[in-house]
Amino acid sequence: MRRAVNEAGDVTSQGRDRAVHAGAGDEQPWPWSKLPFALRGLRRRNYRLFFGGQFISLIGTWMQAVAQSWLVYRLTNSAAMLGFVGFAGQIPVFLLASVGGSTADRYNRHRILLATQTTAMLLAFILAALTLTGRVQVWHIFILASSLGLVNAFDVPTRQAFAVDMVGRNDLINAIALNSSMINGARMVGPAIAGLLVASVGEGWCFLLNAISYLAVIAGLLMMTVDAQVRVPLPGSALASILEGFRYVRHNRPIRTLLLLLGLVSLMGMPYAVLMPIFADQILHGGPKGLGLLMGASGFGALIGAVTLATKKGIRGLGRWIAFSAAGFGLGLILFSQSRSFPFSMALLAPVGFSMMIEMAASNTLIQSLVRDEFRGRVMALYAMMFMGMAPFGSLLAGALAHRIGAPSTVMLGGAVCMAGAAVFRWHLPALRLEAREMIVALQVAAGDPAEESTGQASVVAPRGPQE
C-alpha cells in the first residue's frame, strides 16, 4: 500500500486526494515492464489508454486546425480575420484557465476530462454538419472556436494535473516528454492529411474525421481503472480557491520564476509562427509549399526535443536545461530573422523547435514536481495561462510590430528578449535550486518518503547537492 501511495505522489499533509492513483500503481508485468527506459511511462495501463486515444484525437485536432484556417481564408480572403478567429479561440484560456484549475482541484479530474472531450467532439460535429451542408459562415466558426477555447480552459489544466494521477511522480518527466512526442508526431501527420483532404473533398470531411477521432480518447478514458477519488472540499468559494492558488504561486519563488520565464517566451518568442507566411512568401520566396516545409522543420525539431527529454532519468539539471533552451530559442530566432536562404532558414527552425519544446516540457515537469497536489490544478491553470493564454496577445503584438518595423526585425526583437529572460533566470538559478530542494523535501516527507531517497525525482535532494 505504501508503495502505491508513494508512486502516486498525491498524498499530502492535508489528506486530500488519498485515492488518486489512477494508474500510478497499475504497472504491468511482461511485456510492458520490459519497455525501454525512454518509454517507461507506458508501463502504466491507464497512461497507455490515454496515450493511444490522445494520439488519434490529436491527429484529428491538427486536421481541423489546418482546415479551419483554410476555410476562414476561403470565405473571407482576409488575413486579419484569420488572426481574429485565432484570438477568439485562444483568449478564453487566458481568461478562464484559473477557473478551470480550481475546478480540477475541487472535483473528479477523470470525470471532468470525459465532459470536456465529449463537448469538444460535439462542437466538431456541429462544424462538420454546417460545412458539409454548405451553410457555414464566418460567425459560425467564430462562435465554435470561442466555445472550443472555453472547453480548453477547463480541459488543459485538468489534463496536466491528471498526468500525476496516471503515472505517479517517479515517471512524471517521462510521461510529459512522451505526451510532447505524441503532440508533435500528430502535428507532423495531421496537417499532411488535412492538405490532401481539403484539396480533394473539402474542409468538412476534416471536421467530421476530427469529431470521430474524439471517440478514441473517450473510449480510453472509459476503459481506465480509476479508484474513487475522495477529495476534501476546499474551504470557501470558488473565487477564494482561485485567489488561494495565486497566493500559493506568489509565495513560491521557483514556481513563480518558471511561470514568468514561460510567459515571456510565449509572449515574445512563440508568435514567430504567426509571421511565418510572410517569411515563406515575401522573404524566402518559397510559397505555400515552403511554408509547409518550414513548419515541418520546426515540428521535427520539437519532436526530437521531446524524445530527448524522455530519455532523462530524473529532474536533476533541468534548471540548466531550461536556461540554455530559452537562450537557444532566442538565438535561433535571431539567426532565422536575418537569413535569406531557404535551406539555411529551414535548418535553423529545427533547433528553434527543439529549444522551444525543451523549455516548455522541462518547465512543466519541474512545476509539477514542486507543487502540492491540492494546488496542482490551479497551478497548472496558471501554466496554461502563461503558455497558451499569452499566445493571443503575442500574436497581436507581433502583428502590430511587423506592420511598423517589418517581420524580420520583429522576430529578432522577440529572440533578443528571450535571451535576456534566459540570462536573468540563469543568474537566479543557484538560489532557486535551494528553495526548490526544500520544497521537494517537504513533499517527500508529506508523502511518507524518506527525504534522502534518491530515486527518480527524489534525486533532487540527493546528498551531493541541491537540485534545479
For residues 219 and 310, state if they share a domain: no
16 domain residue, yes or no: no
Same domain, 221 and 257: no
| 338 and 276 share one domain | yes
- Quote the strand ranges of 289-369, DSSP E: none
Same domain, 152 and 256: no
Please give the backbone phi and psi of residue 313, each rounded to the nearest 5 degrees, phi first. -80, -30
Distance CA 38, CA 447 (A): 26
pLDDT band at residue 215 using 50, 70 and 90 as cut-offs: very high
CATH code (residue 333): 1.20.1250.20
Instruction: Please tell me which of 6-20, 231-245, 330-344, 392-406 the model is most confident about, judged by mean pLDDT.
Output: 330-344
pLDDT at 351: 93
CA-nearest of 427, 428, 440 to 467 is: 440
Residues 138 and 204 in one domain: yes
Nearest-10 Cα torsion for 291, 292, 296, 298: 20
* Residue 417, domain extent: 250-448
One domain for residues 55 and 125: yes
What percentage of the chain exceeds 90 in pLDDT? 25
How many residues are recorded in the chain?
A: 468
pLDDT value at 345 more than 80: yes
Confirm whether 434 is domain-assigned.
Answer: yes
Query: What pLDDT score does 231 carry?
Result: 52
- Tens digits of per-residue pLDDT, 183-214? 767 776 777 787 778 778 888 999 999 999 99
Q: Is residue 12 part of a domain?
A: no
Residue-wise pLDDT for 123-152, tens only, equals: 999 999 999 999 999 999 999 999 999 999
94 belongs to a structural domain? yes
Is 369 contained in some domain? yes
The dihedral built from the CA positions of residue 272, 357, 299 and 161, taken in this order, carries a sign that is: negative
What number is the average pLDDT over the span 16-27? 47
Q: Are residues 254 and 220 in the same domain?
A: no
pLDDT for 258: 92
Same domain, 75 and 184: yes
Is residue 235 included in any domain, yes or no?
Answer: no
Nearest Cα to 273, choosing from 387, 85, 399?
399
In a domain, 138, yes or no: yes
Does residue 419 sit within a domain?
yes
- Overall domain count for the chain: 2
